[in-house]
Structure 1
């Protein structure tokens, strides 16, 4: 992506985010039971949708890395994996925080060890552990260990999604693909869809930037390794 394409993409994302904000605050009707606090929903759901998408990308890249380990394409897959994991944690954090902001006025508490909340918190911890593992492990071992953890960690994603179907929970029933009469009011759908598109595009843009930075870091590390090897050979001579 060249500079012009990046600038255009950033403008499109800014327009989508602004329009989504307008739809959520000014156009979507006020929910009858919860009032204006329900408007957090238009950011809460897109945050998690983007986070889960990033975790899926991380899973695919991790599997590809393990299959192609030792080949030139493995480095690119590893860059994809770590970039997606970082953004997944970012958007999952936004989802947790917006959920807490919603819970306080509705439930009267910031947090409860509900099945949905607990499984989501565990998911967040798994991917934070993934990032810590990459920072603390030896450079050569980190990608392999992290890839194995990523495969294990993604198992929690469907558990998070299905938790309110499998167990009794305080969390509201799903409004998308939920039971009869649990769906979203048609007048609220545009705000949700626009913000879903905005968050997905924003996540994709951030992912591209982070991926390019990671590839540059890999290339710099390889150049430094080659330079160190050349210096070592010169000293031997």
Structure 2
């Protein structure tokens, strides 16, 4: 019985972070730490990728774009799934902060998606002889960018915040179907895009140094995403909760600086 009581207390203590008032200062406290981690890991990852990793025997030096391209592509898909998760939580549990987190994540996911497409084009020109082909992987990745842009445009166009949250959540949840299509497209269709170099079920097909640099860059991208999302959600919270007493006190404190 005592163990059940302790679990219930821990559950309640975690649920309190679903309150925008409680989460606001926590986000402000953690964001600089994640930003610092992202900066350090980015420097290390880029150094390994561009100065330590060996030259690829097939692609030469141009392959080094993967140290930016692959983590960006991973994050563009992962961020969208996290957006869909928070949207589902918001719809089911009616938690305001969940919708705010989804909105805070969207611009970062869109940037990563654009970087993945842009760096993929830079890699494609010397490899395929063209910047763009209507390949299954590229086309589904481009669709992901349109989903991000559509989500942001729709949530900004609807003045009523609750309606905007629910409309955006529907786009996020429906669009999540595209993420496994992106990932498995190289297996499902005849595509120019190479298969995954890193797999859970298979040994990596690249040198250890290359893999290390790529994974460090992926962790850096994740830390950056958390930092920016925390910084971005704070003004969203202040805007949404502007009629509450605690926001009035916080704005006064910020204005007195």
Normalised to the residue count of structure 2, the TM-score between the two structures is: 0.79
Superposition pairs of residues 68-217 of structure 1, within 5 angstroms: 68-69=93-94, 74-139=95-160, 140-177=162-199, 183-217=205-239
**Preserved CA contact (<8 Å) 2:31 2:226:** no
Aligned length: 220
Q: Which residue of 2 aligns with 1:26?
A: 51
SS of match in other structure, 2:205:
coil
C-alpha separation between the residues in 2 aligned to 1:187 and 1:6? Answer: 29
From the superposition, tell whether residues 7 and 78 of structure 1 become closer, same or farther in structure 2 (CA, over 3 Å): closer
- Structure possessing the higher relative contact order (Cα contacts under 8 Å, 6 or more residues apart): 2
**Preserved CA contact (<8 Å) 1:173 1:182:** no
TM superposition shift of 1:193 = 1.4
From the superposition, tell whether residues 168 and 55 of structure 1 become closer, same or farther in structure 2 (CA, over 3 Å): same
Ranges in structure 1 where 5+ consecutive residues have no aligned partner: 224-237
**Preserved CA contact (<8 Å) 1:85 1:127:** yes
C-alpha separation between the residues in 1 aligned to 2:104 and 2:216? Answer: 25
C-alpha separation between the residues in 2 aligned to 1:6 and 1:84? Answer: 14
TM superposition shift of 1:12 = 2.4
Normalised to the residue count of structure 1, the TM-score between the two structures is: 0.85
**Preserved CA contact (<8 Å) 2:31 2:231:** no
TM superposition shift of 1:168 = 0.6
From the superposition, tell whether residues 152 and 6 of structure 1 become closer, same or farther in structure 2 (CA, over 3 Å): closer
SS of match in other structure, 1:141:
helix
Structure 1 ranges of 4+ moved more than 3 A = 1-9, 178-182
Superposition pairs of residues 42-61 of structure 1, within 5 angstroms: 42-61=67-86
Alignment deviations for residues 105-160 of structure 1 (CA, whole Å, 9 cap, x no partner): 21121111001000111111112111110111232421111111111001000000
Q: Which residue of 1 aligns with 2:42?
A: 17
**RMSD in angstroms over aligned alpha carbons?**
2.3
Ranges in structure 2 where 5+ consecutive residues have no aligned partner: 1-25, 245-257
**Preserved CA contact (<8 Å) 1:177 1:183:** no
TM superposition shift of 1:175 = 0.8
